[in-house]
Amino acid sequence: MPETPVHPAVQRVLDAAAKKGVTLDIHVFPEGTHTAEDAANAVGADIGQIVKSLVFVAPGGEGHRPILCLVSGPNRVDLGRLAAVVGEPDVRRATAAEAKDLTDFTIGGIPPIGHGGALRVIMDPDLGRFQTVWAAAGTASAVFPVTPRTLLMLANAHVAPICEERRQADVLAEQAGLTPTPTPTTDP
């Protein structure tokens, strides 16, 4: 039986990992995973194990300087904290078009590696709580498992507290399985 061809976006992710001596185990799902919860359900993981790759921009001389934030599934980036960490007071979330232009990937499948150009990468320390995390592999239907330490190395990331503080009640509700059904977003 002939092998299924690898999507070019997924191949870029595989190639980027291989350049650093890492072989990734890509999992492809027939239907995309449109939310972190969808991705967690698809791979049988905790939502916190899902890596959201979120693109932000800071104004620059000839356009925008991209910043990629690798964030644990239930967490949200705090713009004030991110601005302080990167030293860019005017940082903002990238539009879908900017994210595509800056990473060469479409929102929903933006991976932590394999981008067309250099990105500054900041990693949420919450990802370090898990033995394995799952990240997008270039398309909305492809993911890969990786240890947080390997993810840090592959993405050449800097770990920093960039997320909003979560209320203790929300954390306890999540642990008890009492979280509300999320509204679908473009975050993987």
Q: pLDDT tens, 59-70?
A: 876 777 899 999
Q: pLDDT higher for 165 or 20? A: 20
Alpha-carbon gap, residue 89 to 91, rounded angstroms: 6
Stated as kind and residue range, the H or E segment containing 135 is strand 133-136
Sequence ranges of the domains in the chain: 8-175
The model's pTM: 0.86
Place of tokens 């190395």: 153
Per-residue confidence (pLDDT) for residue 24, from 0 to 100: 97
- CATH no. of 8-175: 3.90.960.10
pLDDT, one tens digit per residue, over 152-178 is 999 999 999 999 987 666 666 766 767
C-alpha to C-alpha distance for 110 and 75, rounded to whole angstroms: 17
